[in-house]
Structure 1
Amino acid sequence: MRPTGEGGTETQAKDLCLRLLTDRARSRAELSDRLAKKGYSADIAERVLDRLTEVGLVNDADFAQQWVHSRHTYAGKGKRALALELRRKGIGQEDATEALAQIDSEDERARATELVAKKLRTVSTDDRDRAVRRLVSMLARRGFPQGMAFEVVKEQLDRAGAETDGLFDET
């Protein structure tokens, strides 16, 4: 039923997009990439995506807002990591900036504190240098600023009773 040399009809492309959107919200770029991988022509993909955008099923600004909220809240991602994820999802700079604005520095710090407190339950503080490296590295991988990571780790180690005097001396 597929025309020779093409991925399929406009209806088939629309059906594929709708199936993908039932799993989770997706950016226009993600759907476009998926249609291209399935062999749909650029013309068909553009028409289908324009129609889905017109009816509100594809909205990059809404997607970015949802993505940032979800990944910050449930995956513990910092703004830097989220910005990179949004770029990989094909979200424009304006939509990404607006979505990332919902996380202020206090929110980011609070989430970093939660993550460190949780991780401290499984990290030995006997070797404080190693504990600091592991905790700061964990926050760095999640996209939290280095300065904030060190501050949060120091506070949480102090709170946990670990001796951190001299560890963060300015040089």
Structure 2
Amino acid sequence: METRRESRRGAVGPASADKGTRLGGAGSAGVGGGSARGGRGSARRRVGGGFGRRGKRPVGDEPQGTGDPELDGVEADPYSVARTILLDKLTGQPRTRAELADVLAERDIPDEVADAVLDRFTDVGLIDDAAFANAWVESRHRGRGLGKRALAQELRRRGVDDELARDALEELQPEQEEEKARELVRRKLRSMRSLERQVAIRRLLGMLARKGYPGGLAMTIIKQELDAAHDEFPLLDSSGLEPE
């Protein structure tokens, strides 16, 4: 009987050895040719990029960012950095090429890189100074009541080329500018019921000058609107139109 038990154990041995050989081969990627379980674990660790259980990184193995939320995760290639900066600045509102160039310079982007990326953004239409100027003139004239002179100054401060600015300002017709100036004067007159005519004139001229309207046009409109408002504002008599 002892001989029979030894025989059975002997029969199991080769099969186990053969199975162990197969598993060992599958797990040979592990350190020292470990078991299959060890091999799969090693593979998971390699794929996980150093993460421990439940996807947590080991202490002291945190990724080092750039310190800038805009650029974290972007490779430290100056072209990629420049593109990321421009896309961020263009989100929500258009900007001129000059404004964006200033931003890149402040972020220490090399000039040759900045020029190349700005050229590319211009080619694909993400930067369009002509469209910017047209939209700016329309919006600021309609919303703020600015005349051509003030609009030209604003476009210059934003770095729009003089020729592009002139083209945009030409879209603003003289009758539009005159009507907006009349609207501003009428609105202002509502708060001048108790003022003398000369005081009202000076204040209205100052307002239209700050808005960018020429003096001749401003005086003509003010005279006409004061005369039209004589019945409503009796203290604004028709004498002494010219300011002292």
* TM-score of the alignment, normalized to the shorter chain, above 0.5: yes
Equivalent position of 2:115 in the other structure = 46
- Determine the structure 1 residue equivalent to 2:94: 25
User: Do the aligned partners of 1:125 and 1:131 also contact (CA within 8 Å) in 2?
Assistant: no
The 5 A counterparts of 1:7-26 are 9-26=78-95
TM-score under structure 2 normalisation?
A: 0.63
Poorly superposed stretches of 4+, deviation over 3 Å: none
**Matched residue count:** 165
5+ residue gaps, structure 1, are none
The DSSP-based 3-state class of the residue aligned with 2:91 is helix
Name the counterpart of 1:88.
Answer: 157
1:139 aligns with 2:222: no
In structure 2, the partner of 1:164 is 238
Deviation, 1:45, is: 1.2
1:110 and 1:59 map into 2 onto residues whose CA distance is: 30
CA contact (8 A) 1:29 1:90 kept: yes
Between the aligned partners of 2:195 and 2:77, the Cα distance in structure 1 is 62
Partner of 2:166: 97
**How far does the alpha carbon of each residue in 1:70-107 deviate from its partner, in whole angstroms, 9 at most, with x for none?**
11111111001111111111111211111000112111
For 2:155, the aligned partner's letter is L
Q: 1:32: Cα distance to partner?
A: 0.5
Aligned to 2:217: 148
Query: How far apart are residue 166 of structure 1 and its match?
Result: 3.4
CA distance in 2, matches of 1:132, 1:22: 44
Letter in 2 for 1:78: G
Q: Do the aligned partners of 1:13 and 1:40 also contact (CA within 8 Å) in 2? A: yes
| Identity score, percent | 45
Segment drifting more, 152-161 vs 91-100: 152-161
2:152–2:169 Cα contact (<8 Å) kept: yes
Question: 1:160/1:125 Cα in 2 relative to 1: closer, same or farther (>3 Å)?
Answer: farther
**Unaligned ranges ≥5, structure 2:** 1-64, 67-75, 231-235
Higher relative contact order (CA 8 A, sep 6+): 1
The one-letter code sitting in structure 2 at the alignment partner of 1:64 is A
Partner letter of residue 219 of structure 2?
F
Structure 1 vs Structure 2 CA RMSD: 1.9
